[in-house]
Amino acid sequence: MKPNETVDFNLRWGWAKLAKVYGVEAEKRGITMSVGYALLSIERDGTPSTKLGPRMGMEPTSLSRTLKGMEERGLIERRPDAHDGRSVRIFLTEAGLGARRETASLVLGLNARIREKLGREAADELIGGLQKLAQVLEDPSALLPNGTNN
């Protein structure tokens, strides 16, 4: 089997190309992709910082750096959790809400153009296939020989 005939090759290369497009567009707006993901991942009523990393697929160190930069730029603020004084919630500021609207518009616009280029049926099939793959990968041991993680 050739590499370009495998699922993982096509996922990696497709994502790399899509990430490049997002990166270029994010840079035009003065942000990075990780800042864009954070903007879209923070809920209106704030999000515990401990939930952001897993939601965004980011390691704590990278997330901490991203949040620090966002805070320095006035996009977010940290507030103690009203229900748990030990926890901190991340909130978008007015500037952060504006950047979030711009980021959401970018994501929706790119997705609309991708759908247009692929065609509605192909785009729906791709999304369905990727969702099914995500379900299969919930139990990676089922993919390994003898059903083990070793």
Render pLDDT for 50-100 as a digit per residue (tens, 0 to 9).
Answer: 889 888 888 989 999 999 999 999 999 999 988 887 889 999 999 999 999
What are 89-142's pLDDT values in tens digits?
999 999 999 999 999 999 999 999 999 999 999 999 999 999 999 999 888 887
Q: How many domains does the chain have?
A: 1
Q: Residue 62 domain-assigned?
A: yes
Residue appearing with tokens 């041991």:
141
CATH number of the structural domain spanning residue 123: 1.10.10.10
Spatial distance between the Cα atoms of 63 and 38, rounded to a whole number of angstroms: 9
Q: Is residue 32 part of a domain?
A: yes
Could you list the residue range(s) of the whole structural domain that residue 105 is in?
Answer: 7-136
